[in-house]
Amino acid sequence: MSEKGREPPQRLSAHIEAGPLAAGLYLVSTPIGTARDITLRALDVLNSADILAAEDTRVMRHLMEIHGIPLRGRRVQAYHDHNAERSRPALMAALQEGASVAYASDAGTPLVADPGYRLARDVAQAGFRVNAVPGPSAALAALSVSGLPSDRFLFAGFPPPTRSARLAWLRHWAQLDATVILFESPRRVNQTLTELCEIDPNRMTVVARELTKKFEEVIRGTASDLAADPRMANLKGEVVMLLDRPSAAVVEQDDILAALHLRLPHMSVKDAAKEVAQQLGLPRREVYQLALSLAADGDGRSDEI
Ligand code: SAM
């Protein structure tokens, strides 16, 4: 876009800066509930961008209205899952002309379970600059209030809708050595908890609802506690679920020895150690050392691991 065609962005308050933006895509994070959860830089970008694009144009206009940011004749272009293929070329063409393009989804970070990814990928591949304007995301807000370990976590997105696919999906993520964050429809939370009980009823689980909003609620307990909680049957609003990592089962040395004693008479040390380690979820080398000492005492045969 030529400098001539640009209206100088209006200075709105001491807080909002109004310089022209460098060309490129700006992925603007927006509130997930409380409207004031927006950064000053996000407001600067919405004020100054040449082109505004949004998952829902009404949501963006409303947000700008709340924060007193005028459109100044700028159109808000829709960019969502159903029109992305049609809408993307126009945004790419604007970037080609040197425009700054701000994109926001309905809430939170526009690439987290929202349509911004392909746009960012294509813009980067075309050699234009992609800028993050970081801010809220329900996944991190939920992790923050959950009380679960935050040193390692995985965002798994929405579970699949059918029961069998969901069970396999849950089984897969639930075995990770990390806190697992998932988005779920409030109508399906109960079902997901019931399925989680089939996998691990004692798993510490958190249901975080309506974060940063008036009816925010954070419910913590084991999967079976929560499945039995009458509130789960009638949840309203937006929900994030979090699962703690599996607790390391404490395996007594006697259990390992008993399992090895059963096998060593008719297996090699290596095979017995491998099988017992797998069965009890223990490091193979540790079990092998024990098996070797048993074998040396005459309880089995020795060989190489
Ligand atoms: N891009 C958004 C983000 O970064 O948070 C997520 C968009 S995704 C389409 C919408 C899902 O996010 C909801 O179904 C819910 O699981 C979660 N979510 C969004 N806002 C929330 C809130 N205020 N409280 C709890 N969960 C929320």
Same domain, 56 and 100: yes
Tell me if 236 is assigned to some domain: yes
Q: Which amino acid is at 189?
A: V
User: How many Å lie between the centroid of ligand 1 and the Cα of residue 114?
Assistant: 9
pLDDT band at 3 (very low <50, low <70, confident <90, very high): very low
User: How many Å lie between the centroid of ligand 1 and the Cα of residue 105?
Assistant: 11
pLDDT band at 281 (very low <50, low <70, confident <90, very high): low
Same domain, 77 and 174: no
Does residue 158 have a pLDDT over 90? yes
Pocket test for ligand 1, best of 28, 185, 219, 239 (most atoms within 8 A of CB): 239
Tell me if 301 is assigned to some domain: no
Structural domain span for residue 274: 253-296
Tell me if 212 is assigned to some domain: yes
The pLDDT mean for the chain works out to 91
**SS3 label, residue 93:** helix
182-232 confidence digits (pLDDT tens)? 999 999 999 999 999 999 999 999 999 999 999 999 999 999 999 999 999
CA distances to 38, 42, 103, 265, 305 from 290, in Å = 58, 60, 60, 15, 13
User: What pLDDT is stored for residue 248 in this prediction?
Assistant: 65
User: What is the domain-level CATH number for residue 126?
Assistant: 3.40.1010.10
Size (the chain), residues? 305
Please say whether the beta carbons of 113 and 157 come within 8 A.
yes
User: What pLDDT is stored for residue 160 in this prediction?
Assistant: 96
- With a threshold of 0.85, does the pTM exceed it? no
User: How many Å lie between the centroid of ligand 1 and the Cα of residue 138?
Assistant: 5
Tell me if 5 is assigned to some domain: no
Same domain, 186 and 276: no
12-57 confidence digits (pLDDT tens)? 666 777 788 999 999 999 999 999 999 999 999 999 999 999 999 9
Same domain, 76 and 166: no
Same domain, 28 and 132: yes
CA distances to 55, 109, 210, 234, 256 from 104, in Å = 7, 8, 20, 31, 55
What is the pLDDT averaged over residues 137-148? 98
Q: Which residue has the higher pLDDT, 284 or 77?
A: 77
Same domain, 221 and 267: no
- Domain total for the chain? 3
Same domain, 167 and 129: no
Encoding tokens for residue 36?
């004031």
The last residue of a domain, from among 92, 108, 136? 136
Q: CA 114 to CA 139: how far, in whole Å?
A: 13
Residues within a 6 A CB radius of ligand 1:
32-33, 105, 107-109, 112-114, 137-139, 183, 208-213, 238-240
Contacts of 164 (CB under 8 A, 6+ apart): none
